[in-house]
Structure 1
């Protein structure tokens, strides 16, 4: 039985609505809430780098409370000798130091006191926002591939989130990972930077060769078509 145009129109409308609903659901799944952690920015730097300015990025993950206090604990096993904190409008910072059992020997003398903690208070990070707390390190530690910090984030409702968990090899990321600064080998970093150039050159050569091949094939096709056109030229009349 053939359906009327109106019935077919309604059927198409229903199918379109169903497709739109599925597309909307897919968008919602893709655009779902992403997990935001307290991190160090940039997350990695070459060992011995002269630029030692980093930011502790603190996002607000609560819907109805503001972040009102941020505490970052510095490691003492691979200590950072000193820190210079950039001012953040509305926030007050305080640097705590601790005395080392074994001094750090440098060309400028022994270092006995190192940074143990920085605390920011007085300001607010509202929901769906983040704040960067910038710190300039006096020097990066030696003898390690990473610097692990531990952060405590206090909200206006009294909730405290402890970003102190370490990720274990082969295990999924913990719910509240500690901020980690990776210290990379300068030689490996240089090789990584140089590698894309070689790849780009190879790609360019491949594309050039492909272009030549396409050009030759096009020329051959043109010759063949030209011959075919000449061969059939006498049969173009209409009976």
Structure 2
């Protein structure tokens, strides 16, 4: 009886390890997040939003990014995404015009993407605030089944993690003059875009590696549980 009880306890530990390993394969990186470089205070820069598909029964066909009211962007340009249209919306405020929203829409529902896939939506804009460390960009992700997931929550402190966090871009001190006010110089813009893309790719490769390792650990743990249970039955007989 003691042997059976011990085997049961070992099996429980192994099973818990398998569950934990599988949990690692579904990290918070599945949320919409910013994959770009920090933006300059009072300047212009490129924002990249990495948007994974998360609905098992529908595909992503739209993304709407809302620019907070306190962020007065006067210029924004989107990077083309094959099969998608982009619309930069503006509004009048205080006698001036500001960017209020940027909306990406798949031209055909068949051009959407599902679970296990992601799309990068990027835009160059400015000027960004001079007195903030970061800017949250509430985003609404639309699916073919008509559902919309709002990524619009901001953590109240470093220890909390919202269920639907808004992607955030970091702001840093400007390195120098940003030219004509419509973006970084040509070489800087290209360099920043490549750095942001590399950051996104590196992040996704890391999580893919973690997922593979986690799956291997889970399979090994389940196999170990089977061995433990068979030995338990053998000892009991």
- TM bucket (normalised to shorter chain) is 0.5 to 0.7
1:133 to 118, 121, 127: 121
Q: Tell me, what secondary structure is at the counterpart of 1:61?
A: coil
Deviation for aligned residue 1:100: 2.1
Work out whether 1:173 is the aligned partner of 2:135.
no
Structure richer in strand, relative to its length: 1
Structure label with greater radius of gyration: 1
Match of 1:117 in 2: 101
Matching residue of 1:63:
56
- Aligned partner of 1:39 in structure 2 is 33
SS in structure 2 at match of 1:173: coil
Mind listing any 5+ residue stretches in structure 2 that lack a counterpart? Answer: 1-6, 176-237
**1:141-180 equivalences in 2 (<5 Å):** 141-169=129-157, 172-180=160-168
- Distance change in 2, residues 1:38/1:153 (3 Å): same
CA change 1:89–1:26 in 2 (3 A) is same
Take 1:169 and 1:19, find their aligned partners in 2: how far apart are those partners? 38
Preserved contact between residue 84 and residue 138 of structure 1 (Cα < 8 Å): no
Change in Cα spacing, 1:25 to 1:113, as seen in structure 2 (3 Å) is same
- Using the alignment, how far apart are the partners of 1:25 and 1:173 within structure 2? 24
What is the alpha-carbon distance in structure 1 between the residues aligned to residue 43 and residue 148 of structure 2?
34
Choose 127-136 or 25-34, whichever is displaced more.
25-34
Any stretches of 5+ residues in structure 1 without a counterpart? 1-14, 103-111, 188-239
Matches of 1:70 and 1:61, distance apart in 2: 13
Structure number with higher relative contact order (C-alpha < 8 Å, ≥ 6 residues apart): 2
